[in-house]
Each structure stands twice: as C-alpha cells, then as structure tokens.
C-alpha cells in the first residue's frame, strides 16, 4: 500500500516518502504562488487558477491573498464563499465547505495531525481526517479548525477560537477550546 493510499484510508502515513504526494504538493504550492501574485482586479485569472487547484467550487468565490493549501484537490467549496487574507487549508483529507460561508482573516483549516507518541511523530508519521463546514457559516478572524471537525449549518464561530470538536447547527461557539454558548433561532 502506498503512503497516499494509507493517507486516504485514514491511517498513519509518511507524506515525504511518497513521490506522488510530493509532486502533488509542489503543484499546489506553485498554483498558490501564482494566485497570490495576481493583481487585485485580475479576477478572471484568479478564477482559472482556483478551477485547476480545487476539486470543485461554486459561484462567487473570493479568496483574498495570501492563500495556501497542501493539495487543493481535496477542497470542495459551495456558492458565495469568501475568505479574508491569510487562509491556510491543510487539505490532506477532504475539506467540504457549504454555501454562503465567510472567513475572517488569518484562519486555518487543518485536516493534518500528528501522533501523540513522540517516537511515531519523530519518524515523520502523520494522519488526516476530513473537515466539513455547513451552509451559512461565519468563521471569525484567527480561527483554527482541527482534524475531523464538522461545523453545522447557520453557525457562528467567534474570533480566536480553536475548534477541536463538532459544533451543532444554529449555534454560536467561541473560545479555546471552542464551546457552544448560544443557540440561534
């Protein structure tokens, strides 16, 4: 089994030992570089780069530079997606984002994680768990979303939060670790 197959099966894997994964990351990093160097009003050119980079994206996508991802092909965006400056998506597993989702600046979506056991970590092993963000979600600035998290529809994640567990739909959640503090009606 290749390291990529292990990754896709949710097992521990060595990303640096799989030539295919290395080449795929290099391609994504180059596309991100090209995207980030476009002028502010070069919307058609940026749109074309995102079409190549992402698995799929809906209408009305706006991502302010700088934007970075690991592979791109694991990212699925719905319609009306907006991300302010400095979004980072470590998409070693699928990242699925619904319609009408907005990110403040300096946010991170991290499907990648590392073992707690230092021996495995020192060997370079890592894992990946998918992240899902529903429709009509607002993510405040400086939010980090960790591997395996689902954020339900119509939710708001307060600025500076670190989302370590699932957040139910119609919820305001804040903090480190992020906790639900209010239901929305």
pLDDT at 43 > cutoff 90: yes
Return the active site residues.
114
Domain boundary assignment for the chain:
3-183
| CATH 2.160.10.10 matches 3-183 | yes
Query: CA–CA separation, 98 vs 163, rounded Å?
Result: 17
Residues near 157 by Cβ (< 8 Å), separated by ≥ 6?
137, 138, 139, 140, 143, 145, 151, 163, 167, 173, 174, 178
Query: CA–CA separation, 8 vs 29, rounded Å?
Result: 20
pLDDT mean over 111-119: 97
The mean predicted confidence, pLDDT, of the chain is 97
* Other Cβ atoms within 10 Å of 64 Cβ, number: 15
Query: CA–CA separation, 118 vs 137, rounded Å?
Result: 36
pLDDT, one tens digit per residue, over 59-109 is 999 999 999 999 999 999 999 999 999 999 999 999 999 999 999 999 999
pLDDT band of residue 185 (cuts 50, 70, 90) is confident
pLDDT, one tens digit per residue, over 121-167 is 999 999 999 999 999 999 999 999 999 999 999 999 999 999 999 99
pLDDT, one tens digit per residue, over 64-78 is 999 999 999 999 999
């Amino acid at each position: 089994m290749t390291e990529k197959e292990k990754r896709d099966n949710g097992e521990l894997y060595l990303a640096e030992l799989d030539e295919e994964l290395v080449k795929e990351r290099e391609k994504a990093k180059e596309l991100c570089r090209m995207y980030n160097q476009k002028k502010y009003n070069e919307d058609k050119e940026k749109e074309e780069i995102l079409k190549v980079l992402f698995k799929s994206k809906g209408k009305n996508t706006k991502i302010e530079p700088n934007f970075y991802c690991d592979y791109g092909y694991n990212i699925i965006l719905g319609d009306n997606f907006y991300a302010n400056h400095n979004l980072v998506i470590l998409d070693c597993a699928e990242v699925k984002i619904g319609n009408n989702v907005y990110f403040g600046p300096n946010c991170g979506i991290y499907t990648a994680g590392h073992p707690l056991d230092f021996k495995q970590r020192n060997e370079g092993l890592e894992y990946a768990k998918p992240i899902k963000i529903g429709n009509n979600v607002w993510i405040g600035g400086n939010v980090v979303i960790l591997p395996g998290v689902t954020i339900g529809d119509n939710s708001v994640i307060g600025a500076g939060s670190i989302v370590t567990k699932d957040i139910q739909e119609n919820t305001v959640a804040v903090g480190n670790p992020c906790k639900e503090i209010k239901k929305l009606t």
